């Protein structure tokens, strides 16, 4: 049997469909293929997640912060929730995005996220809730643990140690970790239960909640820019006998933290052009060294 024009046309159409399928296979889905709610997680699953959260910062880096440890924390539960391999892949890819939260109260967020994953909420909604809560949880954790509980426990332990008691470090470790582990496991179960209780409201107001969470998330990111990006210049403008400090008298009068904002937008523009975060970190280091050496930063 010969290969006629009809066969050639059909082959061409099949090749075109294959190329279109390959092109669209890399487009991120916002919903899961299997939208049926998964079986509830057990107390053992939640406790397992809480134990794994101890490794949250094991792969900490300046590109994605705690993303590797975050995914490690919730991965067994995600495998139980998502039976469809494509759904599991999409979920894992989303959870490998940048996240930075306090390591002691992170289980509240992971419990809440697992409840949303179990009900198969939209990926964008889960992402928005993560971004919206990681900042407040970081502030609460710092105030509760580093600024309050740690000094109290350290003070008690140090007082005993100064008196020659061997129980000083033991008391410190016992007191500090009693609250630490109590909250780590307690918040894991509370976050999961709170997420389950809010599922009906989430489903009824998904767009509103996603929009509100996105606004809060963008506000948090804006605050992080002002807090994390430190950039100033010592340059002065000389006009006759007058000396005008470029930073204090000009830039800060226009807008406080203007240089960090401009630098952040520059990094964002370079990322949009395909520069990797690692390359941008290198550019930032070189820019900082050059600025210090030549005296304009």
Cα–Cα distance, 195 to 109 (Å, whole number)? 9
278 plus 194 within the same structural domain: no
Are 253 and 194 within one domain? no
Please check whether residue 15 lies inside any domain of the structure: no
* Same-domain check for residues 85 and 142: yes
Considering the domain boundaries, does residue 20 fall inside one? no
**Structure tokens, 9:** 């046309």
Based on the domain organization, do 52 and 119 belong to the same domain? Answer: yes
pLDDT in tens, 132-164: 888 788 878 887 888 788 888 888 888 888 888
Same domain, residue pair 290 and 181? no
| Residues 268-278, mean pLDDT to the nearest whole number | 85
User: Could you list the residue range(s) of the whole structural domain that residue 214 is in?
Assistant: 43-225
One domain, residues 201 and 243: no
144 close to 136: Cβ distance less than 8 angstroms: no
Residue 243 three-state SS: strand
CA-CA distance, 268 to 263, in Å (whole number)?
9
Q: Which of 183, 206, 188 is nearest to 77 (CA)?
A: 188
Same domain flag for 180 and 280 = no
What distance in Å separates the CA atoms of residue 39 and residue 37, rounded to the nearest whole number? 7
> Is residue 90 situated within a structural domain?
yes
Could you tell me if 194 and 61 lie in one domain? Answer: yes
Task: Give a yes or no: residue 35 inside a domain.
Answer: no
7 in any annotated domain: no
Give the closest residue to 213 by CA, choosing from 286, 276, 288, 124. Answer: 124
Domain finish residue from 190, 225, 260: 225
Q: How many domains does the chain have?
A: 2
Q: State residue 85 phi and psi, 5-degree precision.
A: -60, -35
Please say which residue of 187, 209, 225 terminates a domain: 225
Please write the tens of the pLDDT for every residue from 16-69: 554 444 344 444 678 899 888 889 999 999 999 999 999 999 989 888 899 999
- Within 13 Å of residue 82, how many CA atoms lie on the same side as its CB? 22
State the CB neighbour count (10 A cutoff) for residue 29: 11
User: What is the pLDDT confidence band of residue 213, given thresholds at 50, 70 and 90?
Assistant: low
* Any domain includes 37: no
Beta-bridged to residue 237, according to DSSP, are 244
The pLDDT of residue 91 is 93
Q: What distance in Å separates the CA atoms of residue 246 and residue 249, rounded to the nearest whole number?
A: 6
Return d(Cα 122, Cα 206) in angstroms, integer: 8
Residue with tokens 């928005």: 128
pLDDT digits (tens, 9 = 90+) for 100-127: 999 998 999 999 999 999 999 888 888 8
For residue 6, being part of any structural domain is answered with no
| Predicted pLDDT of residue 57 | 93
pLDDT at 2: 47
* Average pLDDT along the chain: 82
Domain final residue, candidates 177, 207, 225: 225
Token couple for 1:
């049997």
Compare 59 and 238 and report the one with higher pLDDT: 59
Task: Find out whether 103 and 52 touch, Cβ atoms under 8 Å.
Answer: no
Q: Which residue did the predictor score with more confidence, 198 or 89? A: 89
Tell whether 48 and 168 lie within a shared domain: yes
- pLDDT of 254: 81
Instruction: State whether 70 and 215 are in the same domain.
Output: yes
Query: Sign (positive/negative) of CA torsion 105, 108, 111, 113?
Result: negative
74 in a domain, yes or no?
Answer: yes
Q: What is the DSSP letter of 38?
A: P
Higher pLDDT, 221 or 171: 171
Do 260 and 118 lie in a common domain?
Answer: no
Cβ count near 145 (within 10 Å) = 20
Do 173 and 85 share a structural domain?
yes
Res 22: pLDDT: 39
């Amino acid at each position: 049997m010969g290969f006629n024009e009809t066969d050639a046309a059909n082959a061409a159409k099949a090749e075109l469909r294959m190329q279109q399928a390959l092109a669209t296979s890399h487009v991120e889905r916002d919903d899961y293929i299997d939208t049926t709610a998964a079986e509830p997680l057990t107390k053992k699953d939640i406790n397992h997640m809480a134990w794994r959260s101890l490794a949250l910062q094991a792969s900490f880096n300046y590109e994605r912060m705690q993303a590797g440890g975050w995914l490690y924390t919730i991965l067994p539960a995600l495998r139980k929730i998502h039976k469809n391999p494509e759904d599991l892949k999409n979920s894992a890819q989303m959870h490998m995005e940048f996240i930075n939260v306090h390591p002691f109260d992170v289980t509240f967020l992971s419990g809440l996220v697992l409840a949303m994953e179990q009900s198969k909420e939209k990926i964008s909604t889960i992402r928005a809730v993560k971004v919206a809560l990681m900042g407040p949880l970081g502030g609460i954790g710092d105030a509760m643990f580093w600024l309050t509980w740690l000094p109290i426990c350290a003070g008690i332990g140090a007082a005993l140690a100064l008196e020659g008691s061997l129980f000083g470090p033991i008391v410190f470790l016992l007191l500090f970790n009693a609250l630490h582990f109590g909250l780590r496991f307690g918040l894991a179960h509370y976050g999961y239960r709170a997420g389950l209780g809010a599922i009906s409201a989430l489903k009824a107001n998904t767009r509103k909640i996603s929009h509100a969470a996105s606004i809060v998330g963008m506000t948090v990111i804006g605050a992080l820019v002002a807090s994390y990006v430190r950039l100033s210049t010592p340059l002065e403008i000389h006009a006759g006998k007058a000396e005008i400090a470029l930073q204090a008298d000009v830039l800060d009068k226009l807008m406080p933290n203007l240089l960090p904002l401009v630098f952040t937008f520059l990094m964002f523009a370079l990322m949009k052009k395909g520069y990797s975060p690692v390359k941008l970190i290198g550019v930032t280091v070189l820019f900082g060294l050059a600025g210090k050496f030549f005296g304009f930063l």
